[in-house]
Structure 1
Amino acid sequence: MKISTLTLIASALFSSSGYAAYEFELGDNNTLKFGGYLKADIRHVDGNVPYRPFWIATGTTGEDASQTHFNMRESRFNASYTHGKVMGFVEVDFYGSDGSEAVVNNYDPRLRHAFIKYDNWLVGQTWSTFMPLKAIPETLDFGGPHVGEAFIRQTQIRYTYGGFQFALENPETTGADNKNDSLPDVVGRYIHKADWGELAVAALVRQLDSDGLDKTVAAFNLSGKLLIGEKDDFRFQVNVGKPGRYVAPGLTTDVITHDDQPAAEETTAYTAAYRHFWSESYRSTVFYGHAKTDIQNRERQMWGVNLIKQLTPYLWAGVEVGNYEVSDANADSTYLQFSVKYTL
């Protein structure tokens, strides 16, 4: 068994996917890897936006409530098998259907990633090519400010050439019937990497043909991770256009009804986050996300700040406080979360 300490440290500090870290050389250019992490969350939510294990841009509001829950649902396991130029990867977590918290606290596994890579090609389910992974802030709340992020996993065919990526992705239409989803969504991305970090631009083009709406729509994403000093970084993304389900999950659907007619609305969403290393052991991220639509006038925003202590190269513990606001309904909730994460 070959275990890379550098890989484990990098995974513990910087990875949100928990890619494989335990490596077995099987001979004849074959490699089997296992990895993931265990994460325990203690989360308290107080306010008139109901408790969620992590915030997305839904607009459900209610009476004032105060809830605390303990869970291990973000924990995940993955495996990859490499044979020469071919690699297969699969990962599951436990955000499947809810189980019983009364006795056994069981939760169903959920497929996150399952893809095959060969040379410059990727086929299978993973993060959308429209989604800028390097711009996602390090947060205890899973995913952090979803309200301002492009955030979606789905099956796709992707080709990568240097800093360019081109993909055909699953054309699922939300908010209306999808019986005419015959053309895949098209995504293009360019990533520029340098000593100071990286910048990326992406474009999404979709054909919506549903409930009387037959329209080509587009969305654009600008993102980056800029290195500051020896370790600090600033991460951001800006999303504009008509991305529908691709941006700010729960904010809007691909097709809505406006003046008794089907329509696709514009969304403007963004996030900004600064991560600072106080010392070798302590680091913090302060982050903000915001999203607004132009027809339904839905508006959401979220902020948070955390403090994380790296106990070992494989283990950290942290605390985070933040607020999620449904601005168009004059509702908000504050959350306090404690987490412990052990990277395998």
Structure 2
Amino acid sequence: MSRTFKGFLLSSLAAGLAFGAQAEEASLEDRIAALEAMVSELKTELAEERVQKDDVVRIEQTVIAEEVDAPKPKTDGFLVGDTTLKFGGFIDADVHVTSLSDGAVAGSSIARDFYIPGATPIGGSETTFTDFTAEPSRFFLSASRPVGDKTLSAHIEMDFLGSGQGNELVSNSYSPRLRRAYMAYGNWLVGQEWSTFQNTSAIPESASFLALPDGMIFVRQPQIRYTRGNWMFAVENPNTTTLNAGARDENLIPDVVARYNLSGDFGNISFAGIARQLRADFGSSEEEVFGYGLSVSGRVMVGAKDDIRFNMVGGEGIGRYVGLAASRSTAVDLNGNLDAIPSYGGLIAWRHPFGKTARFSGGYSGLFIDNPSYLPMTVTSSVQSVFGAILWDVAPNVTLGTELMYGLREEESGADGSITRFTFSTKYAF
């Protein structure tokens, strides 16, 4: 019962008593007029109270409607507790038609799936073959959550290239292989990631898994990286490779990398340096030599849409960091000492969009190695390649591509072998 109504009852009771006491003095018309005045006042108060309640209800309904109709903020992924998870990757189905001038590549070799400069055979008969593969298909899972005033994030990524499990007899089953697996917090990154010595934006767009690797810095490996502004510093997994004593895994000091990045409307350019301890333990002796490398790489805009991608690198003992290990870091001389092998190379590629969703990508790459004279004449002295590709987005996230590449490997003796490969690819990214 409202206060207004209670007040009305009390007022009515008081008025009734007063009316009874003065019944003989007041006329009937006066009593009726007084009652009508009180009823009118009550109606006015009740109406005002109803209007106030209606306004409150209307405001609440409006707020609820706005909350329901308001667009929800977009999130990149989905929440599980306070952690944002994201799953993605792509399906990549490729057809390769390959012609080798001097030999063959085993059906189980990863060189059947993409161009590996050092695997081009020399000294055999010409062979041609066709491969269908979906092994480049890839998936990843990333996670992030707030920790204090920063974000803790993690990323794991796999594909199916180079699997030793599968074959083409019945099921074409292939095992996942680890590509990247790292965590990052603030300025720090720990885990397996692209080498800090490499600028991944310099990788040309291609229809195949990888184009122009000859003079390209291309390494993924475990590391600890610190980033501060434009600077990046890292210690990374060491490994000493030799041309005549196999791969040695006896390093004590990690590879040390420093890199400086410039970016803007022009694109980006990176300057990087690497220092390496190259060490081998032969039991009777422990040998080591210093290795180093310098690089400039990036992607620069040309006009409104075109870009030039480039990578220049040189040094002594950089071996596996360049050309997919087309050369090695060291050689063991006749006295059992280690020599760091000098090499230099690079790539340049042009990307030109045309039409609504199509683009052309093409370029050249080369690596040149200064091998010691005591090595056999069959060691690789250079690898080079050119390619051209046309890619077309036929639907959102669906890309068709065709590519033609030519590669040449030459030995110190002057003998050489070449590879010509046509690729057709269909890729759906999700």
Q: State the TM-score, normalizing by the size of structure 2.
A: 0.72
Unpaired segments of 5 or more residues in structure 1?
A: 5-20
CA contact (8 A) 1:3 1:22 kept: no
Distance in 2, matches of 1:292 and 1:232, equals 29
Aligned equivalent of 1:195: 265
CA contact (8 A) 2:239 2:250 kept: no
Partner of residue 410 from structure 2, selected from 323, 327, 341? 327
Structure 2 counterpart of 1:327, one-letter code:
E
Aligned equivalent of 2:155: 89
Aligned equivalent of 1:151: 218
1:57 aligns with 2:117: yes
Q: State the TM-score, normalizing by the size of structure 1.
A: 0.90
Question: Runs of at least 4 residues of structure 1 off by over 6 A?
Answer: none
Partner of residue 141 from structure 1, selected from 208, 224, 236? 208
Distance in 2, matches of 1:98 and 1:228, equals 45
Distance in 2, matches of 1:123 and 1:266, equals 30
Partner of residue 230 from structure 1, selected from 304, 317, 340? 304
CA contact (8 A) 1:22 1:35 kept: no
RMSD of the TM alignment (CA)?
A: 1.9
Aligned equivalent of 1:161: 228
- Compute the displacement of 1:260 (Å): 5.7
Matches of residues 16-27 of structure 1 in structure 2 within 5 Å? 23-27=77-81
Partner of residue 286 from structure 1, selected from 357, 362, 367? 362
CA contact (8 A) 2:290 2:340 kept: no
Aligned equivalent of 2:90: 37
Tell me whether 118-127 or 319-328 shows the greater mean CA deviation.
319-328
Aligned equivalent of 2:392: 309
Partner of residue 265 from structure 1, selected from 319, 338, 341? 341
Matches of residues 97-108 of structure 1 in structure 2 within 5 Å? 97-108=164-175
Q: Cα–Cα, structure 1 residues 230 and 177, in superposed 2: closer, same or farther, change >3 Å?
A: closer
1:172 aligns with 2:247: no
Question: Between Structure 1 and Structure 2, how many residues are aligned?
Answer: 326
CA contact (8 A) 2:240 2:250 kept: no
Aligned equivalent of 1:15: none
- Compute the displacement of 1:313 (Å): 2.3
Tell me whether 293-302 or 181-190 shows the greater mean CA deviation.
293-302
CA contact (8 A) 1:189 1:201 kept: yes
Distance in 1, matches of 2:292 and 2:73, equals 44
- Compute the displacement of 1:314 (Å): 0.8
Q: Which structure has greater strand proportion?
A: 1
Unpaired segments of 5 or more residues in structure 2?
A: 1-71, 106-111, 372-378
CA contact (8 A) 1:251 1:298 kept: no
1:256 aligns with 2:319: no
Q: Identity percentage over the alignment?
A: 34
Report Cα offsets for 1:105-161 as digits up to 9, x if no partner.
111110001100000100000111011101000012222111110111100000011
Q: Helix, strand or coil for the counterpart of 1:63?
A: coil
Aligned equivalent of 1:70: 132
Q: Helix, strand or coil for the counterpart of 2:241?
A: coil
CA contact (8 A) 1:137 1:285 kept: yes
Distance in 1, matches of 2:165 and 2:135, equals 10
Aligned equivalent of 2:294: 220
Q: Which structure has greater helix proportion?
A: 2
Distance in 2, matches of 1:177 and 1:195, equals 43
